[in-house]
Structure 1
């Protein structure tokens, strides 16, 4: 609820009988959950970078479907702005192949950057994790 004179979470009250007060309303639970999300996001990026160095993977929609059809994929990662029809088709194939699907918290540009590529990646399939423990650490369905 906004009071007159308040701008988002910063509130300044000026009254003739009271001195200037400045109050910041931040909930601690928001700060803690934001930190945890950022930390898990960074750990996923680190594990993904390790897969790119030491493991086998395929990038892109067509190759992800091929890896699922041939039962080679161990984990599928999908960006949050992947088109809904593609996303549901990948999830369907993954369900048939009994492969885990992780929904990445960033968009396709962020996922491409996390993979160390200079292009956008909407989905990727991890065939062999290499030295990374990404398959064990990421829950299958998130």
Structure 2
């Protein structure tokens, strides 16, 4: 069984992708659809979102950050301050990818239910959308 340490999760993230990387075309060819308010396109939205998170190596960070760390990794869980700062940037990047095409659902649905992503934790944001989907719309 994989131990999802902070350093392991950070090692999965791709740091060297820049705007000149020709493989970025893949993201343009498979754009994340806007999540509809009624969540009728949720499965497609999640599938494409997962593609984007995998592309950047952020999928493990989003899904597993709370497996080993109930409140997410902290500064002491990293070997260097630079790694801690890289982790924070990657968390914000993942958060922005998730939020980018789900803003209406988040603002009108999740936030209306007194949920507030103060920490900008991508794992918590994704879980809130999933919980909203389960609770409000009772999807499986």
Question: Could you tell me the TM-score, scaled by structure 2's length?
Answer: 0.27
More strand per residue: 1
Rg bigger for which structure? 1
Question: Could you tell me the TM-score, scaled by structure 1's length?
Answer: 0.27
More helix per residue: 2
